[in-house]
Amino acid sequence: MTAQINTPRRVPGRGARRPAAAADSQPGLRRGQKEATRNRVLEAARELFDTQGYQGTTIREIARRAGVSVGSVFTSFASKGEILSQVMEARLDSLYAEIDRVVPHIRGTTADRLRSIFAVFFDFEAARSKLFLSHIAAAYDWTLPPSARPFGRNERLQSILHECLARGVAAGDVDPARDVHEILDLLIAVYGWTYHLVVTQGADAKVMTEAMDRQIGLIADGFRPR
C-alpha cells in the first residue's frame, strides 16, 4: 500500500511573491501619485493666494481646495511660504524666458534698460497682481524656512538687475565707486513698494510702470558718475 503524502495547501496570497513587474511598478506609481497631489496643492494654493492673500490663506484651506489631507500637503512642502515660493517659481518661468529674449535687444542708458525690464515685469503680473502682493507679503514672514523663496530672495531677478548694472559700469554710466548690490537692493525695494498702488488706487500695469520710471530716474541720479 502506497503511503499518501499530504502536501500542505497554499493559502492564496500568503507567502506568494509578487511578480517582478508589479513590484517594480509600485515606486513609480507612488511617485506619480505624489506628483499629482503636489500639482493639486499648487493649483489650489495659487487660486487662494490670489483671492485671499498670503495671511488670509491657511494650509487647511489649501488642503480642502486640493481635495487632499493636511498631512499630504506637508509631505511635499515644509510650510505655506514654501508653497507660495513654488507657485511663483512655476509662474515666473515664462516671465524669465521673455526677459532672456528681450534683454539682449534693449538699448539706451542703464536707467532706460532698467525701465524696460521692469515694464516687462509689470505687464506680466498685471493679470494676477494680488497673487504678486501675496508674494511680497511673504517676504516679511519671519517664520519662513530657508527653502522658501519670497519676494526679494529671487536669485534670477537679482541676477538680471546685477547684469544690467554691471553693464552700466562697463559702459561708463554707472559710477564704479557705487556699491552695485546696494543699488540692486534699492531697485527691488522700490519695485515691491510700487505695488501699494494696486491696493490704494487699483493701479494697472501702465500706472505702476510710470511710477517705477520716475523712481528709477531718481535712483539713476545717485549712481551716475559725477
Cα–Cα dist 14/51, whole Å: 53
Domains identified in the chain and CATH numbers: 26-77 (1.10.10.60), 78-223 (1.10.357.10)
Q: What is the pLDDT of residue 6?
A: 53
Residue 8, pLDDT above cutoff 70? no
- 40-43: long-range contacts at Cβ-Cβ below 8 A with a sequence spacing of 24 or more? 40/66, 40/67, 40/68, 41/66, 41/68, 41/72, 41/73, 41/76, 41/77, 41/83, 42/83, 42/86, 42/87, 42/90
What pLDDT sits at residue 20? Answer: 54
Tell me the per-residue pLDDT of 95-110, one tens digit each, with 9 for 90 and over. 888 888 888 888 899 9
| Least reliable range by pLDDT among 139-143, 163-167, 201-205, 208-212 | 139-143
Burial class (CB in 10 A: 0-12, 13-18, 19+), 105: exposed
pLDDT in the model for residue 103: 84
Q: Determine the Cα–Cα distance for residues 54 and 65; give it in Å rounded to an integer.
A: 15
pLDDT at 174: 96
Tell me the CB-side half-sphere exposure of residue 60, using CA atoms within 13 A.
1
Residue 25's pLDDT is what?
59
Determine the pLDDT at residue 3.
47
Instruction: Return mean pLDDT, the chain.
Output: 86
pTM above 0.85, yes or no: no
Average pLDDT rounded to a whole number, residues 153-175: 91
Does the pLDDT value for residue 116 go beyond 90? yes
Is 99 within 8 Å of 85 (Cβ atoms)?
no
Residue 200 is predicted with a pLDDT of 94
Q: Among 224, 197, 38, 20, which residue's Cα sits nearest to residue 122?
A: 197
Q: Per-residue pLDDT averaged across 189-206, rounded?
A: 95
